[in-house]
Structure 1
Amino acid sequence: MGLMGVRQVFDARLRPLINPPLNACGRALARAGISANAVTLAGLVPAIGAGLSIAYGHTLAALALIVLNRVLDGLDGAVARVRGSTDFGGYLDILADYVFYLAVPLGFAFAAPDNAIPALVLVASFTLTAVSFLAFAALAAKRGQTDSAHGAKSFLYSTGLAEGGETIAVFIAMCLWPAAFAWLAWGFAALCGLTVIQRSVMARHTFG
């Protein structure tokens, strides 16, 4: 079984474990009148807080805020499944995700001058993966293509080597071993580069 097959099997086995508690919390929030967009916006607080905590050297606090942000990121989808999803909600969700993805490396850049170059390269790699991801999604939407591999989403999520789960794992490692930030940043930036190449090949086969 290839890497993508392993990832899909892992995702398929993980969802039945995490979806029930998330959906239960989502139903409770929806009954309380809280919208999915409100949950998404609330997630910006720990996202920015994680970056600030890292900048001031509090990486364990940042780790807790990263986990909180990801829980809220799952909850907004659970609320949306109850109250109904919107196109603006999908837009806001992606925007909030990338605020989070940029806050962490920027925090490390401010924490130590030696981190600045690898943080810059990591941010640049995130930009390229975002462009490839969103361009693929836009073209897939134009053709009416959807899938359910990542759960109910506002648009198609194209698979890549570096996705959300891998990013969170690297961020956690950075917080646990901040002295290894540069090595982790360079390595994950390379993985993002491979993802862009992989997605470009996929786009050529899909849209060519």
Structure 2
Amino acid sequence: MSIAGSPESVYHRRMVDEELRRAAKPLYRPLARALADRGVTADALTLAGLGIGLLCLGAIAAGHNLPALVLWLLNRLLDGLDGEVARLRKESREFGTFMDIVADFLIYGGFLVALAIQHPDARLALLVLFLAYYLNGCVFLALSSILERLRAERRTERGLHFRRSLTEGFETIVAGSLFLIFPAHVSLIAWVFATMVFVSAAQRVLDGRRMLERG
């Protein structure tokens, strides 16, 4: 299935997350190499990141936003380091990629639940954002699975077929940080970000339709 020159070819460009990951690699690669040289495995980093993420959720629910912000950023750092360590150690990452995605979904969803505990008045907006996450995740995983089977796209560094869309991992990090820095505006941030995530889901649905109809 050739897509060169078609409207879908825009999705062959590197997604924002990959571009940022490549740009930041000179900054975090020395740390990844130091960890790899000391025998730290990628799976260990994934589990450590999950543990830190769960601590972050507890801090949010308890209303301790500053510690939660530090833990959130550390969780996201480890999420980037595990893949780099795997490459440096030449580890197989099929199961690791699976666990990485599971951990991300758990932390992303739990983040909203923790915010809802801290901000009862913002629960409607957070619930809508949770729905947007759910829809976008379902579309992403379903389309990735089909494209993997059809061998229609290249892989990104994370091992799954990501598509360029309005909201990706970087935007989620920014949104999470904004929630913690501006607690008085949680509802507004949630409504705005939910709209962006719904747009992302629609982008992927339309892209999937074009791609699969051509297949």
Q: Normalized against structure 2, the TM-score is what? A: 0.86
Structure 2: runs of 5+ lacking an equivalent = 1-9
Aligned residue number for residue 200 of structure 1: 205
* Structure 2 counterpart of 1:119: 126
Note if contact 1:136-1:158 (Cα within 8 Å) is conserved in structure 2: no
Is structure 2 residue 33 aligned with structure 1 residue 27? yes
Q: Deviations 1:95-154 (Å, cap 9, x if unpaired)?
A: 111122112211111113212222221111111111011111101110123436xx5222
Distance 2:211 2:181 in 1: 40
Decide whether the 8 Å contact of 1:119 with 1:185 is kept in 2.
Answer: yes
> Which of the residues 19, 38, 41 maps onto 2:44?
38
Residue in structure 2 matched with residue 191 of structure 1 by the alignment = 196
CA contact (8 A) 1:85 1:154 kept: no
Note if contact 1:57-1:111 (Cα within 8 Å) is conserved in structure 2. yes
Structure 1 unaligned blocks of 5 or more = none
Q: CA deviation at 1:55?
A: 1.2
The alpha-carbon distance between structure 1 residues 177 and 133, as it changes in their structure 2 partners (threshold 3 A), is same
- Spell out the pairing of 1:1-208 with structure 2 (5 A cutoff): 14-83=20-89, 84-147=91-154, 151-208=156-213
Q: Distance in 2 between matches of 1:87 and 1:26?
A: 19
Partner amino acid, structure 2, of 1:75: L
- Name the structure, 1 or 2, with higher relative contact order (CA <8 Å, separation 6+): 2
| Distance apart, 1:156 and its partner CA | 1.3
Identity %: 35
Secondary structure in 2 matching 1:30: helix
Letter in 2 for 1:95: V
Shift of 1:16: 4.4
Given that 2:68 and 2:180 are in contact with CA atoms closer than 8 Å, whether structure 1 keeps it comes out as: yes
Give the secondary structure class of the aligned counterpart of 2:148: helix
4+ long deviations beyond 6 Å? none
Contact 1:54 1:108 in 2 (8 A): yes
Aligned length: 202
Distance 2:192 2:182 in 1: 15
Q: Distance in 1 between matches of 2:135 and 2:144?
A: 14
The alignment's TM-score, normalised by the length of structure 1, stands at 0.89
Instruction: Kindly indicate whether the alpha-carbon contact (under 8 Å) linking 2:15 and 2:163 is maintained by their aligned counterparts in 1.
Output: no
Distance 1:14 1:86 in 2: 21
Return closer, same or farther for 1:92/1:19 CA change in 2, 3 Å cut-off: same
Q: CA RMSD in A?
A: 2.1
